[in-house]
């Protein structure tokens, strides 16, 4: 009987512990967002198609496609222009940079997340305009 009680107590303690490390979840993004005029202008811009954008906390989820063999060698970055356009709410131009040297004709789809917390401006809202697709998404924090 004592062993059963001990097992129940240990099981209760294990399941009652939280895995929350106290952060806002942004560390769960695949990549950080880069920022700066030079980086924005000089990052590769191979052809891609943006399929969808969604925000989950500080992570911008980008679903995109491009031609290739399997997409494993692609170099993908989310790059901010480094400039904030004065509007209500303020707007930032971002683009998905792709370096794709794969020479296959398959059309590959990938979904990656990018931490956009470094794009916050004064206030609690900024519009993120993805220039690859002219899509905009409202980022509230």
- Measured CA to CA, the distance from residue 104 to residue 24 in angstroms comes to 40
Q: List domains and CATH numbers for the chain.
A: 24-140 (2.60.40.2370)
Tens of pLDDT, residue by residue over 42-101, are 999 999 999 999 999 999 999 999 999 999 999 999 999 999 999 999 999 999 999 999
| pLDDT of 5 higher than 70 | no
CA 55 to chain CA centroid, Å, is 8
Tens of pLDDT, residue by residue over 115-133, are 999 999 999 999 999 999 9
75, 98 Cβ separation under 8 angstroms: yes
| DSSP character at residue 45 | B
8, 14 Cβ separation under 8 angstroms: no
């Amino acid at each position: 009987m004592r062993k059963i009680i001990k097992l129940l107590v240990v099981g209760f303690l294990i399941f009652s512990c939280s895995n929350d490390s106290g952060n806002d979840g942004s560390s769960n993004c695949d990549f950080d967002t880069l920022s700066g005029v030079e980086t924005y202008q000089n990052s590769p811009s191979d052809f891609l198609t943006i399929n969808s954008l969604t925000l989950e906390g500080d992570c911008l989820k980008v679903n995109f496609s491009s031609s290739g063999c399997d997409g494993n060698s692609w170099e993908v970055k989310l790059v901010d222009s480094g400039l904030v356009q004065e509007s209500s709410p303020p707007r930032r131009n971002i683009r998905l940079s792709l370096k794709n040297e794969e020479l296959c004709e398959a059309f590959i789809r990938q979904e990656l997340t990018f931490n956009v917390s470094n794009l916050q401006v004064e206030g609690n809202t900024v519009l993120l305009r993805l220039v690859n697709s002219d899509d905009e998404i409202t980022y509230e924090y």
